[in-house]
Amino acid sequence: MSRQPPVLLEPVTHDQSAVLNNLFELYAHDFSEYVPLDLKPSGRFDVTVGEQWWARDDHFPFFIRSVGKLCGFALVRRGSRVTGADQVMDVAEFFVVRGARGKHVGTSAARALFDRFPGRWEIRARQANPPAIRFWARMLAAWLGHEVASSGYSCDGVDWEVFKVDSPATRLGDEAGP
């Protein structure tokens, strides 16, 4: 079995928020295929990451890097958006640039997140975004060694598929830890 290139999670500082917002434009571009996002007259979507990612101690923004190169971001926060439980980790946003997809960067980054925050996780993917649902189903099945069922959830007119998993402390043999 070939070794995958190292994937690291790098905490995003407030000083790096402009870089994260630039990546968020790419994310919005990709996401506009599945949800109605209008391009502004400026030629941008002008969707930005809110200040809560640096103002709250239960929000954790990360850059995803592979072989030292910036490849995406992961925004995770404590607290279930489904049940309100405060000890659940939530994948709020997760993005890997197209050039890094299909190279296990997303899978390695997700594993690193789960290892960094052991415990209960909820991963929500919009039902309108089938590739995201497939990614999370494949990633979780490969990581846990069995399929993980999702359940439907609707909130504020948005339909979601929700995966719920428990992440133990770093799994033996994983090389993707932060």
- Give the residue-averaged pLDDT of 71-91: 95
List of residues 6+ apart from 116 with CB closer than 8 A: 9, 177, 178
Q: Domain 7-167 falls in which CATH fold?
A: Aminopeptidase (3.40.630)
- Give the residue-averaged pLDDT of 51-62: 97
Report pLDDT digits (tens) over 89-117: 999 999 999 999 999 999 999 999 999 99
Nearest C-alpha neighbor of 94 from the set 75, 111, 108: 75
Give the residues across from 41 on adjacent strands.
Answer: none
Q: And the tokens for 41?
A: 């007259």
Sign of CA dihedral 3, 100, 162, 129: negative
pLDDT > 90? residue 126? yes
pLDDT of residue 170: 42
pLDDT > 90? residue 1? no
pLDDT of residue 168: 73
- Rounded CA gap, 81 and 177, in Å? 26
pLDDT of residue 136: 97
Report pLDDT digits (tens) over 13-56: 999 999 999 999 999 999 899 988 999 999 999 999 999 999 99
